Chains A and B, each alone.
Chain A
Amino acid sequence: AQSVTQPDIHITVSEGASLELRCNYSYGATPYLFWYVQSPGQGLQLLLKYFSGDTLVQGIKGFEAEFKRSQSSFNLRKPSVHWSDAAEYFCAVVPPSGGSYIPTFGRGTSLIVHP
């Protein structure tokens, strides 16, 4: 069965600093990969996704992620963090075949932004 690991429960950065959130997956084939953001009291919003092709994916709100097959990773990055980026971030994987397309989410990384 596939699994997703987000090794950092909390990340604290200063406003304006760069950010990298880690995501590693375990699956036999390359799954579909997603990053979502969840603000308090809100549903999850899709930041970006990777299905195939270019391994550097651009998303909304200035985020990008890089897929590295050799490391089974899909890390999320942002060059300059804004205070409004403080939220919970979830990595998710979906198997590329099999018909069910059931997503598996990581436990999330809570981003704290200091002024």
Chain B
Amino acid sequence: DTGVSQNPRHKITKRGQNVTFRCDPISEHNRLYWYRQTLGQGPEFLTYFQNEAQLEKSRLLSDRFSAERPKGSFSTLEIQRTEQGDSAMYLCASSYGLAGTYVYEQFFGPGTRLTVL
């Protein structure tokens, strides 16, 4: 068990560019979550997957944000046409859970810090 990994750890981009972040969950975990954390705030839920199915995406911040989890393994979060307000830490977490239940601990990755110039 190597934990949840996220790449890159840091990303600096110019406004208007697209960025993509990757999350590799703990191997046996079937749930994967994305959060955004801005300075001085707690994590803000964005979306989550049960295996390859994206079960909740209404909290994605705008249509510039999208996430995928092909084959139910790693996941990517893409932000198109980045804006300075997108600068934040993007956290990924994984857990094991049966559909319709939530009693399992989420394990968080170290995050990807995005800076939009």
In the complex, which residues of chain A have a beta carbon less than 8 angstroms from the beta carbon of B45? 102-104
Contact residue among B43, B103, B109, B111 (Cβ-Cβ distance under 8 Å from A90): B43
Given contacts A49-B105, A101-B102, contact A43 B111 (CB under 8 A): yes
Contact size range, A: 20 to 34
Contact B102–A32 (Cβ < 8 Å):
yes
Contact residue among A4, A44, A49, A100 (Cβ-Cβ distance under 8 Å from B108): A44
Interface residue tally for chain B (C-beta within 8 Å): 24
CB < 8 Å A-B pair total? 52
Given contacts A41-B110, A99-B100, contact A46 B105 (CB under 8 A): yes
Contact B59–A102 (Cβ < 8 Å):
yes
Contact B42–A107 (Cβ < 8 Å):
yes
In the complex, which residues of chain A have a beta carbon less than 8 angstroms from the beta carbon of B42? 4, 90, 92, 105-108
The SS class assigned to the B binding surface is loop
Alpha-carbon gap, A44 to B55, bound state (A) = 23
Residue of A45, A101, A105, A106 with highest tally of chain B CB at under 10 A: A101
Alpha-carbon gap, A105 to B110, bound state (A) = 17
Residue of B nearest to A103 (CB): B45
In the complex, which residues of chain A have a beta carbon less than 8 angstroms from the beta carbon of B105? 46, 49
Given contacts A99-B100, A102-B56, contact A43 B4 (CB under 8 A): yes
Contact A51–B103 (Cβ < 8 Å):
yes
- The A-contacting residues of B in range 34-52, CB under 8 angstroms, are 40-45, 48
Residue of B nearest to A104 (CB): B45
Q: Can you name 16 A-B pairs with beta carbons within 8 Å?
A: A9-B40, A36-B108, A43-B91, A43-B111, A44-B43, A44-B106, A44-B108, A51-B103, A94-B102, A99-B100, A102-B59, A103-B106, A105-B43, A106-B42, A107-B41, A108-B41
Residues on A facing B (Cβ under 8 Å):
4, 9, 32, 36, 41-46, 49, 51, 90, 92, 94, 99-108
